[in-house]
Every structure is written in C-alpha cells, then in structure tokens.
Structure 1
C-alpha cells in the first residue's frame, strides 16, 4: 500500500453550505472549517469541500460539463431516503437509468450523487 484512502474532495462555490448538506445526508462532524475548505469527518473517511471560484456545475448527462465525480450512498429504502435527501436540499436528476436499484440526485452545488440498494438486503443478491 502506498497510502490509505482518506476521502473525496469536491470543488464548489460554498464549502460550508455543501458540507452542511452532506452532513444531513450521511452524518459526520465538521472538524475543519474555513472560507476555502471544510472537512466532514465520517466513520471510515472524510469528505472535503474546497472553494473553487471558477466552479461550474455538471450538466450531466449532457457532456458539455462532465460529472467530474459522484458519490454513492447505500439505502435499503430508496423512497424514504429520497424524501430525506430532497428535504435536505438535493434535486432529483431528470435521467434515472435504473431507479429500482439506484437513483441519481444533484447536491446543492450540482454534483451528481446516487442512493443505491447495492450492498443492502434490498439490493441484488450478488451485491450482498
């Protein structure tokens, strides 16, 4: 091993607002906060949010501005989790390639993320 995985960094225009959104989605604690960077510490890793003054939201699935990265979150109950992420500030993406197994959303800064039954009792047998 060269280096252990620490976490994922997302560029955005407002690091604290985006960290607060993801804290509502998956918990964790904000352990570093400045105008240009916020770290949300989770059980196994961290999510980092860094200010990019030239940030442009993804236009996915239109390739003009690529999706850049996306996060997946496990959920055995997609309907219940969907209601919660929408209440937290997400928007549901127009394109839903496989809504019975995973659903695509956009966070408040426009990053795509998914809720997925993969790896849960509700998921396909090969993912358990």
Structure 2
C-alpha cells in the first residue's frame, strides 16, 4: 500500500497562549511566525523564508491547559520534540535564552541528549548523534 505524499508535517502543541509559545520556538530555532492575526488561538512556526522544510510547528491555545508532568505524574507528555544539533554545549545558551529550562530528570547515560522544558512545560531534547 502506498502512503500519502505529505508536503509538510505539522506538530501542534497545546498551550495556554499560542502567540507566546510560538514566539519561544521561533526565537529558539531562528524560524518565523505565520498567522495568528485572524485566529489568535492557532499560530504556525515555520522555517525561514527560502528554506524548505518538511516539518513545521503550530501552537494552539487550549482552555484549561495542564502542563505535562513527565516522567511521572498525572499528565503524560504525549509528545516531545527532538532537535538534532551539532553541539548541545554550543546550542544550550540559545535554548535557555529563549526561555527554556533544563529538566531535573536527565535519562541519558552518555550525554548524547539533554531534556529541556519549554515555557509551558512541554519536554523536548537537544540531541547529538
């Protein structure tokens, strides 16, 4: 069976304020914000103009948002993002400056990935291969 031919995959993140979370990811990645003027509850975060990308992020305002409590607790992460970088050490200052924080739980035994939390609590990783 042949699969679909998707031009772009969008990962949508629930949050208390779509614009604020979109600004965090745009700042961290050096990407751009698209949308939100007509519908402030949905804001896209896209690669820079001229860069094609098969992945985009979207931030979606959800009333009564509850942050994930990963790795334990009543609210599972449900999704997390892995950003593969050349150097975690070189990338971390930009991630922290954008508003992320290191998660207390660091399951990597060899340091090849580090877990962070975005401003509303979604876990994501910087990974080295």
Q: Using structure 1 for the length normalisation, give the TM-score.
A: 0.85
2:86 pairs, out of 47, 72, 76, with 76
Question: Using the alignment, how far apart are the partners of 1:75 and 1:6 within structure 2?
Answer: 20
Q: What is the count of residue pairs matched by the alignment?
A: 118
Question: Using the alignment, how far apart are the partners of 1:30 and 1:83 within structure 2?
Answer: 22
Deviates most, 60-69 or 100-109? 60-69
Question: Using the alignment, how far apart are the partners of 1:105 and 1:65 within structure 2?
Answer: 17
Match of 1:2 in 2: 4
Specify whether residues 53 and 115 from structure 1 end up closer, same or farther in structure 2 by C-alpha distance, changes over 3 A only: same
Match of 1:32 in 2: 35
Post-superposition shift, 1:63? 3.4
1:59 pairs, out of 52, 69, 73, with 69
Match of 1:115 in 2: 126
Specify whether residues 55 and 3 from structure 1 end up closer, same or farther in structure 2 by C-alpha distance, changes over 3 A only: farther
Question: Using the alignment, how far apart are the partners of 2:104 and 2:9 within structure 1?
Answer: 32
Question: Using the alignment, how far apart are the partners of 2:125 and 2:59 within structure 1?
Answer: 18
Post-superposition shift, 1:68? 1.4
Post-superposition shift, 1:27? 2.1
Provide structure 1 residue ranges, at least 5 long, that are not aligned to the other structure. Answer: 118-122, 124-128
Q: Secondary structure at the match of 1:61?
A: coil
Match of 1:93 in 2: 103
Alignment root-mean-square deviation, CA: 1.4
Q: Secondary structure at the match of 1:35?
A: coil
Q: Secondary structure at the match of 1:109?
A: coil
Provide structure 2 residue ranges, at least 5 long, that are not aligned to the other structure. Answer: none
* Over 2 Å off, 4+ runs: none
Q: Secondary structure at the match of 1:81?
A: helix
